[in-house]
Each structure stands twice: as structure tokens, then as C-alpha cells.
Structure 1
């Protein structure tokens, strides 16, 4: 094994501490107490309402001081070696139980002579209570590892020199720069693929009831993703530079930072509560955190439900900003702003490079119904990959136009029903409408269930996500390639003449959750009113309302009664008719 390979595989077991000088070992309780006292002060400040961004930075700075002192105890002023913070620590974003990612840079000729000192250094850091993720590399090894692994280049992108040979550190930065490896285009493509894989791992939803605040869609990783791309392509040191570059408006930047700070507050409190690096908002923690954040039970809404609804609405906003920014980055990085000529779709819309956009910035002002039309066009033109970022922004800025007069407009009502009746793309259309806030604006009762959790073990999603997942499953019954999943359901669905009746029942079945009273009865009234306003016959409107009112009877019969009992079947059949 070469000296470099020996250094790469430094052990971190406490056994190495026995070889340390007595004076160094005696420093262990001193530093443990210093770190503990520093965290205690930060916890007090957190409870006093000090901004979490200040606390995260302060913890990083405290850690910097400790690492520099410990470095001098073990390594001194040795030439040809440097200590750098990487990853989240490199960004100066340390939470109470965050991993401490460090890179020890060495010159090949000094690796062997420093092996024992570096081994004792890493062991000492563990002994004083720092959970260190470390690597020991020379510049050539950094370049080689980064070339083969997008995770490594991402960590090095955020490297920050703490102490040691600055020239060595700068050589590493130059060797791993975008002119040497991982061009902006390659980096962006790899990171977007990584994000998609991560989202898929977490069910492609931010709205399961025990979310991971870091990894779920709309979580902290999505904000970090924006920062990584901005650093690699634009050499941006802060997210605010995206405003200067024209990618974000000032209100969008403030929304991004406000969302990040909200998630940071939750993560900071979660680490303190659990005493470990925990990013999952498990049921066991939600009630305690809700109380800590000052949420109290209301007549129809538990404090924990209010706390979680605020969380879900935050990640929905962040998810929307992430989508918009990645669209803008795609145009700037992959297409080099050469987005091709516009291809007319109709008077109000056109496509560019496979993405739908408004034909004029004033379309939504002049013709507000286009706020629904955009989703119908996406259904009828499957060749379109999505909505251009400028149009996502325009939708966000014009949602307020969906008011009572908009909802009373026959064109809007007809268009909404066309979306439900369209034989393709319904699931994607409704999910996008929810993500952009259009569905809640058009159906005010739906706004109440956006991000609303159901604090029980019978549901795994928020009410809005549960509703849209139900509609997706109903939709799958109509698609031939899914016939084998539930053959009976698919066969029955083929005999339903008006699927929109079933879709409307699904859309409204839980819409009155959290309003007090029987949500089935309240939802049935909402559903009947909506159907009548949208031109359904009296018979069809009453059928939708009946389905909503009786949906619990159906699930109770199917899931909790013996359906092999003829009496059970007879009773149910008499009710259904």
C-alpha cells in the first residue's frame, strides 16, 4: 500500500488516541465542554427567536475555531498539507447534529510523514464529539475522484479552506474547475438526473405524512441543487446573485430564503429534540415540535395539523421555485439561451423547444381564462414537455385573477369540465394545477385541504395529495396497459358512460376535512353545488353528491365487514340501488 493509500484509509477508532501525548488527551474534555457550552448558548438563542440563519452560521464558526486549534495541536505549521471544509460544512450550514465533512489535502511526498499526526487528529475530533466524514487526498486524487463521481465534485465545489497551505488548496480548486472537468452542461445534466432519482426514491411527492425535510421534493436538497448549479455555471457565491443575473425576482428570492429558513428552523429543532442527525418528521416528533413552535389546538384543527400544513405549503412553494429555476437554467446552460423560434398553438399560446409559453406577457391580464387553458393544452399536446419558466412565473403572478367573476365565467366552467373529460393527461394536469396554486384558487374549498394532514394511521398523504392519488388510481382503471393490476375494476370502468362523474366524486370526497361536522355531508353539498354550476344535470349532480356522502360506507363495507356474508352484501346492495 502506498503512502497516499495509507493516508486515504485513516482509521477513526478511539484506539489511536492512546498513542497521543498525554497533554493532547487531556484536551478532550476541554473541547467537549466547549462545544457543548456553545450549542447550549445557541439553543437558548433559538428559543429567544434569534434567526436560524445566524445560529447555523455561528455553529459553523465555532466549529472552525475548534478545528483550527486542534489542527495546530496535531499538525502544526507543516508544509504541503491543508484542511478544508466541504459539503454543508463548506457552505457554513451546520445544524446541531450535522455531519462534519472535511478534506485533508496533502502533497504526495508529505503524506507518509504526516500519517500518524493525521490519524490522531481525526480520532481526536471523534473523541470530542464531532461526527467527522473525512477524506485524505492529494490534488491528483481529488481530480480523479471528482472526474468519476458527481457527488465528489459537488462536495469540492463547496470546499472552503480552514487552515494550512493555501497554494495547495488553490491548485485543487483549479484542477477541479469547470474548464478541466465536469462542464456546466455535464454537471447540470447529472444533478438533474440525481434529483429525479432522489424524488422517485421518496415517492415523487413532498406530501407523505412523515416527510424527510432534506430529501423530499421541495426539501432542502432542492435549494442546495439550485445553489450548486449557480456556483458551477455562474460562479455565484450567494443565491441573491440569481436576482442580479435575472433568474429570480426579488420577491421570489425572498420566498426562497423564507422557505429555507423555515425548514432550517424545523431541522435545527429536530436535531436538538432527537440528539442526532434526524431529518425525518416522524409522528413521534411532530406534536412536540408543534408545541415548541407555538401551535395550539383549535376547535376543528389540531396544533400539529396547523404546524404540518404550514410545512407542506412551504415545500410546495419551494418545489414550484425549483421547477421554474431549473427550467431557466436548462435554457441558459443546455440551450445557451437559443430556445428556437416560437411555434403557434393558438392566439394565446406558443411552444418553444418543447415547452409551452404565453404568446404575450399580458395574456392572463387580457384573457384570465387562459389560466385554465394552459393545462388543457398540455393534455391535448403530449409532445409538450412542460411549461416555460416565464409562464410559470406569469401564472404565479396572476392567480389572483381567479375570483368569483372568473368562476362564474361559462368559458372557465366549460374548460374545467373539458379537462376532466379529456381522455389523456388528467393526472398530470390536476397535479400541475395544484402545484401552481390554480386548483385551490378555482375551487376555494380545495384550498382548505392543501397541505392538510390527516393525523391518523389510515392515510399516508396530506388530504390534497391523497385526493390526487385517488384520481390517478381511478384514471389507471381506464388505461388498457394497466388492466392486469385490478382486472375487475378495469372491466367495470369500461361500462361507466361518464367518467367525469366518478372523477368529481373523487375530487370532492374529502374536501370538507378539517371544517368541523361530518365531512361527507359537507362535501356532498359542495359537490352538488359545483356540479350544478358546471352544467351537469340534476340527476348527475345528485349522483356525485351521493357518492361523496356515502364514500365512507363503501370503504367500511369493503375493508371492515365480511363481504362473503350474504346479509352484508344484501344490505349494501339495497343502499346502493
Structure 2
């Protein structure tokens, strides 16, 4: 049964069709009302040509003739009655060669003539003009489409993105009606296909909104200003302006996404290519002609396949091919509750790609995958924020915040919690009551669904509950007052033992949230206050017990009793027991890199530095493709232990032969010497973007400083590595020379660049 909205929209469409028919009859009668109408054709361009003329729309007409001597009189008997009626008229009189020449010179004229429609007069003349314009358009496509792309970019810069504006221009903003007309013009060049069903439906909705706006205001403006939104919503049968804005945003995002894909296709098809390569970019994903597609044999039953392929695309800085997204949406198995670790890790890696993640996320969203992956997302999807401070809808703000947080992952010990906390910090908006409290409850459910351990879930809850704590306290309270600092300390102490970690996460989240909100929400003054308050709270928290040196899991300590060397490979778990010696950790890591294994975690312990037994416990997964043969891996590890494998030479040869494509820019690595963390060793903490052989490079740098790794804790969280090394010098002592410590930092940083 048709709804009130369906009825209202059908009435608007019927009104436009009736008006087009009425105008056609009237204009035809004007042409036929005098002599000289036999050798001319009256064409409509623009909205009337598409039968989309809204109440405030202009009438755009072209009178085409064959060198008709009396054509001026014919034009006058059409133009003057139109002007007398009060309609705004754009008009021209041309022969076919003249119109063709203008179209080749003026891009806007060409776009209009591509959709020209005969209103009255000689059809053969109209067909001749259309055929000539289309022929020129297709012949000149490389040049004209580049010109059209520049025109679109200028328009978007001027008018902004329709989906995220409080008062958008329905026609000219990015994702508006003009972009659908551009997509039709590109399709007319035979470069891409035309707009699909989803885009046509989105276009029709925006057209109805524009029609209602003209109707209720009596003006021709296409800007949907706030004071008119209630009346426009009522004219469309919608409940309130928020529903109108949400529907507008959804339609605009559909158009903007399709437009981006159109221009990506144009770029692919018009550039000079020597051939199309397929290059692996991740497990189950390959680059194909500038897009990421599923690899042959990709396992669609793997519950991590969707976030893994999305992360591979974002980390490579490439778009996901629409056909791949559609296939994933229709056939891929999604993670159950709780998510497997591989799926959670891939989600973190996707978010950690920074701005490159936004387009990939949008592709998943357009296919309906995000609301299936994250229950509760539907409530914030396209939700407007009626506040000029905010630049985006709620869901886009969350993704923008996570993308901004990716640049701050070096500032925190748990980049995975920062990225997921940023993604969820406003998830409670649209719920009754305080959105921070509501969001904390939702985050508890989502964090548990994602498979985070209980303490991590509680930290995520704390982040969402108190994500406004630092900026609001810093700007509304005296940060020099001890009571103010105690308030912050109490809030970050909700998870015992995680106080400093939580404080650092909240400080980074405040920065990312402020930047994603907009310039009015964040500036140097506010940033300085928040940083000062965080420093004061950190000082109040200092004096806690430093974390103990890492230890190997009890089930592997028995290996240390072997007199010689032992290697155990069980799935992704690799454990090595061997006589300790300098460079053992990074040589073992090098063997894993040779077998294209990406180290996710590493735990090491040495009974006596340089002379006892060391136990190395790795978790490593293939970069992509199938896992290596365990027997071959074990054999190479044993050859390395026996000094019969030159790991450095093999890795150098592979690096020279490997072709890599630069991905999105990652924040610079950080190397910190952690004071007072141990009395028996110097603690070196490294935070960097993960890449193949990272542990090998860090180990080489430490070895070049004459240091021995007494113990290590290596973790890869999404695409971010957080590695801690307990090192001693050749005498088994921690470093105390500032110059030596500076050298360690410099050499490790150099190895990471």
C-alpha cells in the first residue's frame, strides 16, 4: 500500500510530467502560429529536456535552422510570449554547424546539447544536430572528460559535499543533481556505463526535494536552508526535518560514491597502459588495474574475508572494485560473535590506514555491509547534526575521527583501542539521554562482539563515556586546581592498572575528535589546554609500578632445558629454544620474513645474556596466500641456528627484486627509551607502521649498537607495531651513557625509514 511519502512524491513527479507536456504543446503552438516553421526545430535542453523542470527551473531552448532567412521572426514569436509569461528563458538560434562549433568550444553548451530533446519542428534537423554533437563528444573524449573533471572539482570546492552540509545546494554540491547529469554525459562518451538503479532513485529523491523547495518558497533557489526544511519535509510527507536531512544525506552519498567510481573508471580507461598487472596486496586480495579485487581462490567462507580485503585496499591506498564489494555483500561469510582475532585485527588495520580508509569504508557502507558488521551503526548512519560546529553526519564523523586517530597511534600504547574507541565514541547519538553514557553501553556490546578481552572492553567503555572529559574540563575548569586534576584521575582509574594508558588514549581521542568536528571545535588554544591538563593528570598518576619484563608462556619454558636447539612449528605458533647469542632474535625474525610470514607477536626470554639459553615464541601469519611448509620453515630455522643460512643476503636480494607500490602516508615512527622501567636492562620501545621484516630491521639496528636483547615483547595491533625490547650491553649491563642512548634511538629510527 502506498505510504503518505509515496503519494506526495508521485504527485510531484506527475506535476513535472504534466508541466512538460503543457509547455511542449504551448511552445509547439507558438512555432506553428506563423510562417517559416517548416525548416526549423525547437529543442529543449536542461531540465525541460529531461522532463524534470521544477517550479523555479529555467527554460532553456535552442532554435535550429538551415540558414533560414526569416528565422529571426520565428524566434521572436516564441521568445516574447515566454518572457511575457514570467518564465526565465535562456535561448539561442543556431545552424547545425554553428551549434556544433559552440559545443566543441563551450563545455557547458556541449553538456546541454547531449541531452537535447525535440519539442516541435523538423525531427531530422534535431537528429542531425544530436548525432553531430555526440560524434564530436566521443571523438574528443580524452580532452573533454579531463576538462569536465576539472570543472567538477572546482564546483565541489565551491559548494562542498551535499551529504554533510546543514544547508546544501541540491544541484551543485558534490553528490547533487548536477553530478548525475555529468555521469550521463560521461556515459554518452562510451567510456563508462550510465547511472544504475540506486543512483537514479537517489536522483529522483533529490529532484523531488528540489521541487518541494521551489514550491513552498516560490523561489528558484536550490539551497535547502534550515528555516525551509520543516515545510519541505511536510510537502514530501516526511515526519520532520531530521528525516529529510537523513534522506538527503543518504541520496547524496549514493551519488557521490557512484560519481567517484565513474571518475576512477575514466582515469583507468583514458590513461596510457602497457598492460594490466595483478599484484597481491593482502591475503585474498590483489590489485588489478588500479583497484583491489578478490584473488582467485579467495575463501568467501572465511569470516575475516570482508575486513581483511577492505584493510588490504586501504593500506595500499586503492579503491575497492564495486563488483568485488557486491560479491562480498552477497556471498561472503561475516564474523560471528565473538569475532575471530584475524577479523578484529583486520578491522583495526583498516582504520589504521587513516584517510585512505574513508573511501573503502564508504564502499562497504554503500553495499550495506557496515550495518551488518556493527549492530547499532544503523542508528547513526546518515544522522544529521544540527550544529554548525559539526562538518559531518554522525557516522561520517566517527569514521573521520578514526582516520584522524591513525596519525596519533604512536602516542599511545594501544593503537587498536584508540582506533576502535574513535570509531565508537559518538555511537550513542540518537539515543535517549546522555549520548556518552548510552554510547558506553553500546560499546560494551560491540567490544564484546569484536572479541576484545574484558579489560580492553572496559577501557573502550571508559573512552566512550569520557571522550569529552579532557576538552570540557580543560575549557570549563581551572586546570591548576588540584580538584580538577583529581576529577580526571578518578575518571581514568575505572580500569585498575590501566590508568596511564587510558589517559593517553583519551588525550589522543580528544585531538582526533576535535579535528574531525571542524575548525570551530579545535584550535591551538584548546589543544594547549587539553595537553596541559593531560600532563598534569599524568604527573599525578606517576609513581606507579613499572611493568615487569616479559616472560614466555609456562608451556614453553620446558624447551629451555634442551642442551642444544629445539624448534617447534604448530600452525601460526613458532617456538625456538637455542643457546643464547647476539642477534638470535632478529636472525630468527629474518627467517620468518624469508618465508613471507608477518610477525604478529613475539615473546623472548634469556636465562643468562649471551651465555645461557634463549626461548623465542612467535605468532606469525602469511603476508598473503597459503602458509609455508612447516618442515621447510623448521629446516631453515635450524640452518640459521647452525650458521648455515645467510639470512641478511637472502633478504637483501629479495628486497632488491621486489616491486612495491607506496600506500597512504603513515605517521612517523617513534623510538623511546623508557626511564626507570627496569633496574637490570635498558627498555627501548618502538612504535611504527607494520611492514614485512620490521622486527628484522629493528634487531639489526640494536645489534649494530652492540646490544643484546635480554627479553622482548612484540605486538602488531592492526597495522601498528608496538614493540618493547629489554637490552643490555656486552657486559650484560643497562646503558647509562646519554650519548649511547641517543645513538640507539638514531640507528633504530634510521632502520625504520
TM bucket (normalised to shorter chain) is 0.7 to 0.9
Is contact 1:147-1:181 (8 Å) kept? no
**Structure 1, residues 213-237: CA drift from partner, whole Å, max 9, x if none?**
3333433233323322333428xxx
Per the alignment, residue 372 of structure 1 pairs with 307
- Are residue 415 (structure 1) and residue 374 (structure 2) matched? no
Distance (Å, rounded) in 2 between the aligned partners of 1:181 and 1:322 = 19
1:216-272, Cα deviation, whole Å (9 max, x unpaired):
3433233323322333428xxxxxxx9xxxx68xxx944344333322322221221
* Number of matched pairs: 489
Pick from 424, 434, 448 the counterpart of residue 518 of structure 1: 434
Aligned to 1:305: 242
- Bigger radius of gyration, 1 or 2? 2
1:290 maps to which residue?
Answer: 233
- In the TM superposition, 1:487-566 aligns within 5 A as 495-531=411-447, 534=450, 540-558=456-474, 561=476
Matched with 1:489 is none
Q: Alignment partner for residue 343 of structure 1, among 259, 274, 279?
A: 279
Q: Deviations over 1:520-572 (max 9, x none)?
A: 1121223344445556565554343223212344443455x376885896576
Is the contact made by 2:44 and 2:60 (CA closer than 8 Å) also made in structure 1? Answer: yes
**Per-residue deviation at 1:347?**
5.8
Residue 396 (structure 1) shift: 3.9
Provide the residue aligned with 1:151 in structure 2. 108
RMSD: 3.8
Partner in structure 2 of residue 441 of structure 1: 372
CA drift at 1:310: 3.0
Deviation at 1:134, TM superposition (A): 1.6
TM-score (norm 2): 0.57
**Residue 402 of structure 1 corresponds to which residue in structure 2?**
334
3-state SS of paired residue (2:17): helix
1:467 to 2:376 alignment: no
Relative distance call for 1:554 and 1:81 in structure 2 (3 A) is same
Give the match for residue 389 of structure 1.
Answer: 322
Contact between 1:427 and 1:471, CA under 8 Å: does it hold in 2? no
1:84-113: CA deviations, max 9, x gaps?
Answer: 111222222222221111112345563xx5
Residue 127 of structure 1 corresponds to 84
Counterpart mapping for 1:52-201 below 5 A:
52-73=12-33, 76-78=35-37, 81-107=40-66, 110=69, 113-115=70-72, 118-119=75-76, 121-179=78-136, 182-201=139-158
Give ranges in structure 1 of 5+ residues lacking alignment: 1-44, 235-241, 297-302, 479-492
Worse-matched range after superposition: 164-173 or 460-469:
164-173
Q: Is the 8 A contact 2:405 2:419 kept in 1?
A: yes
1:214–1:423 distance in 2 versus 1, CA, 3 Å: closer
Aligned to 1:231: 188
Distance in 1 (CA, whole Å) between partners of 2:63 and 2:73 is 13
Alignment of 1:315-326 (within 5 A): 315-324=252-261
* 1:521–1:549 contact (8 Å) kept in structure 2: yes
* Alpha-carbon distance between aligned partners in 1 of 2:265 and 2:123, rounded to the nearest angstrom: 35
In structure 2, the residue matched to 1:32 is none
Change (3 A) 1:99 1:554: farther
1:482-537: CA deviations, max 9, x gaps? xxxxxxxxxxx754333443333322221011121321112122334444555656
Q: 1:88 is paired with a residue of what secondary structure?
A: coil
How many angstroms apart in 2 are the aligned matches of 1:265 and 1:196?
25
User: CA separation of 1:411/1:134 partners in 2, compared to 1, >3 Å: closer, same or farther?
Assistant: same
What is aligned with 1:354?
290
Instruction: Give 3-state SS (helix, strand or coil) of 1:134's partner.
Output: strand
Deviates further, 196-205 or 307-316: 196-205
Q: Tell me the distance in 2 between the aligned counterparts of 1:140 and 1:89.
A: 24
Structure-2 change in CA distance of 1:368 and 1:542 (3 Å): closer
Question: Is 2:102–2:109's contact at 8 Å kept on the other side of the alignment?
Answer: yes
Instruction: Describe the shift of the 1:141–1:501 C-alpha distance in structure 2 as closer, same or farther (beyond 3 A).
Output: same
Q: CA deviation at 1:155?
A: 0.8
Q: Please give the alpha-carbon distance, in whole angstroms, between the structure 2 residues aligned to 1:257 and 1:128.
A: 32
SS in 1 for 2:221: coil
Distance in 2, Cα, partners of 1:119 & 1:447? 57
Instruction: Find the aligned partners of 1:320 and 1:199 in 2 and give their Cα distance.
Output: 14
Could you state the TM-score of these two structures normalised by the residue count of structure 1?
A: 0.73
How far apart, CA to CA, are the structure 2 residues paired with 1:572 and 1:293? 49
Distance 1:197 1:338, change over 3 A: farther
Q: Which has the bigger relative contact order, CA under 8 A and spacing at least 6?
A: 1
Local SS of the residue matching 1:503: helix
Partner of residue 698, structure 2 = none
Aligned match for 2:10, one of 44, 47, 50: 50
- CA change 1:386–1:443 in 2 (3 A) is same
* Counterpart for residue 382 of structure 2: 451
Of Structure 1 and Structure 2, the greater helix share is in: 1
CA positional deviation for 1:172: 2.9
Cα–Cα, structure 1 residues 50 and 377, in superposed 2: closer, same or farther, change >3 Å?
closer
Distance 1:219 1:339, change over 3 A: farther
